[in-house]
Amino acid sequence: MKVLMTYFEVFNILRREFSNVSFKTETIPIQEALDRICAKDIISSIDVPHFDKSTVDGYAIRCEKTFSANDENPAIFDLVGEVKTGEIPTFEIGEGQAARIFTGGHVPDGSNAVVMLENTIEEDGKLFVFRPVKPNENILKKGEDIKKGCVVIKKYQKLKAPQIGVLAAIGQKEVEVFSKLKVGIISTGDEIVSQDQNLEGAKIYDVNSYTLYASCIEEYTVPKLYGIVKDDYNALKDVLLQAILENDIVLVSGGSSVGTYDNTLKAISSLENSKILVDGVSIKPGKPTIIAKAFDKAIFGLPGHPVSCLFIFRFFVKKLIDILLHQQDTSKKVLAKMKTNFAISSGRTEFVFVKLIYSDEIIAEPLYGKSGSINLLNNASGYIRVDSTKTGIKAGDIVEVTLL
Residue 368 pLDDT exceeds 90: no
85 and 101 in a single domain? The answer is: yes
Same domain? 67 vs 88: yes
pLDDT at residue 214, as a whole number: 98
Largest CA distance in the chain: 96
Q: How is 74-114 classified by DSSP, letter by letter? A: -EEEEEEEEEPTTS--SS---TTEEEEE-TTPBPPTT--EE
Judgement on whether residues 62 and 129 belong to the same structural domain of the protein: yes
Kindly report, residue by residue over 378-393, the tens digit of the pLDDT.
899 999 999 988 888 9
Q: Would 363 be classed as within a structural domain?
A: yes
Q: By C-alpha distance, which of 161, 191, 251 is closest to 215?
A: 251
Beta-strand relationship, 126-129 and 75-83: antiparallel
Q: What pLDDT score was predicted for residue 269?
A: 93
Residues 260, 160: one domain? no
Considering only 94-98, 108-112, 198-202, 327-331, which range has the smallest mean pLDDT? 198-202
Total domains present in the chain: 4
Whether residue 162 is preceded by a cis peptide bond, meaning omega within 30 degrees of 0, is: no
pTM confidence score = 0.88
Domain containing residue 391: CATH number:
2.40.340.10
φ, ψ at 194 (rounded to 5°): -80, 165
Q: Are 76 and 126 in contact (CB under 8 A)?
A: yes
Question: Is residue 146, in this structure, part of any structural domain at all?
Answer: no
Do 273 and 363 have their domain in common? no
Q: Which of 82, 115, 140 is the C-terminal boundary of a domain?
A: 140
The residue from 324, 348, 379 where one domain ends is 324
Q: What is the mean pLDDT of residues 323-351?
A: 92
Quick one: average pLDDT of 48-61?
A: 98
Q: What is the extent of the structural domain holding 29? A: 25-45+156-178
Of the chain, the percentage scoring pLDDT greater than 90 comes to: 83
Encode pLDDT of 343-366 as tens digits.
887 789 999 999 999 999 999 999
Query: What average pLDDT does the segment 13-35 reach?
Result: 96
For residues 146 and 152, give the distance between their C-alpha atoms in angstroms, rounded to a whole number: 8
Q: Read off the pLDDT of residues 182-197 as tens digits, 9 standing for 90 and up.
A: 999 999 988 888 889 8
- According to the model, what pLDDT value does residue 320 have? 98
Alpha-carbon distance of 100 to 58, in angstroms, equals 6
In a domain, 149, yes or no: no
Q: Give yes or no: residues 364 and 283 share one domain.
A: no
End-of-domain residue from the set 178, 208, 234:
178
Q: Are 129 and 164 part of one and the same domain?
A: no
Say whether pLDDT at 198 is over 90. no
Pair (83, 216) in one structural domain? no
Q: Supply the CATH number for residue 60's domain.
A: 2.170.190.11
255 inside domain: yes
362 is a domain residue: yes
Residue 168 belongs to domain with CATH number: 3.90.105.10
